[in-house]
A and B are shown apart, each in its own frame.
Chain A
Amino acid sequence: MNYNINQNIESILQKIQELDANISEREKLILEPNRLPKSIWHHKNIIQIELNEIKELKKLLTQMEK
């Protein structure tokens, strides 16, 4: 995902919070009883994608602060 360097810092922070909230929701789903392995696999993979996205956004924030 590409983020423009001029994007508002606030919107990036908001996006990080959204992703963080999504991850928490998925972690709860994974721990629910009766959850099927396919569903756990699905949510774990998406958590990984969202964590990578957070990492990229944090990198971008660091660049902007320099």
Chain B
Amino acid sequence: MNINELRALVKETVNERQRTLIEESLDYTDIMNILSGERNAINTIGIMTAQNPNGAPPPGGRAENLQRNKDFIRDLRAERLGFRHIIGKFGVEEDSLFIANISKSQIIEFGKKYQQDAVIFAQRIDDKSFDFQYIQSKSGQVMDNKTIVLPNEEIESRTDFYSAAGKGRKQRKFVIPFFEPDYNTIDTTQNVEDEL
């Protein structure tokens, strides 16, 4: 390899690295834009993993978990659903998928198929917010709902019980504070009755 070829190779590697960093940071910004309702074309969101069925690590360990998410991705592609990778840390880290414009029945069916205790579904309320629902997969029952997503300094300092987007130093955390009583819960039953 001569000096010019070496220079070209270094330049190419540097460009690739910069491109990766931009993509990673876009990942987080994109997700936060979606969660705060700024992406008008996205009206529903689903968040779930296919890993750790029935709340325990599978017998095949990490390899089986990776395969489970690959199968899930194949299902999403078959349904022509777009997704992004995110991380969930709840005691152990697991890979989750953030899916745009998925229906509530679709995400519940995927939750059942991949034996998940729960899935998260969000429905747009207005141009700035979503109703985030914590749904028990088996029954399809909404166990809690919130309209707030927390990306702040307190969340950034959490070492457990958070979701995160982006990789390495570009990783940023966020939380939908389900079952945390200090944050708002929507009474959807009341809303329906009001409309009637």
Instruction: Report A's interface with B, CB cutoff 8 A.
Output: 2, 29, 32, 34-43, 45-46, 48-49
- Assuming the contacts A43-B117, A45-B144, asked whether A38 and B90 have C-beta atoms less than 8 A apart, the reply is yes
Whether the pair A49, B143 counts as a contact (CB closer than 8 A) is yes
Kindly report which residue of chain B lies nearest to residue A30, judged by CB atoms: B55
A37 to B91 Cα, complex, angstroms: 5
The residues of B that contact A37 with a CB separation of less than 8 Å are 90-92, 160
Instruction: Report B's interface with A, CB cutoff 8 A.
Output: 52, 54-57, 88, 90-92, 94, 117-118, 136, 143-144, 160-161, 178-179, 189
A24 to B135 Cα, complex, angstroms: 20
- The 9 A-B residue pairs with the shortest CB-CB distance, nearest first, are A39-B55, A37-B91, A38-B90, A45-B179, A34-B56, A42-B117, A36-B55, A37-B90, A35-B55
A46 to B90 Cα, complex, angstroms: 17
19 A-B contacts, Cβ less than 8 Å apart? A2-B189, A29-B55, A34-B56, A34-B57, A35-B55, A36-B52, A36-B57, A37-B91, A37-B92, A38-B88, A38-B91, A41-B161, A41-B179, A42-B55, A42-B117, A43-B117, A45-B178, A46-B136, A48-B179
- Assuming the contacts A42-B118, A45-B144, A46-B143, asked whether A36 and B91 have C-beta atoms less than 8 A apart, the reply is yes
Whether the pair B90, A36 counts as a contact (CB closer than 8 A) is yes
- Assuming the contacts A2-B189, A46-B136, asked whether A38 and B144 have C-beta atoms less than 8 A apart, the reply is no
A38 to B56 Cα, complex, angstroms: 9
- Assuming the contacts A46-B136, A49-B143, asked whether A39 and B56 have C-beta atoms less than 8 A apart, the reply is yes
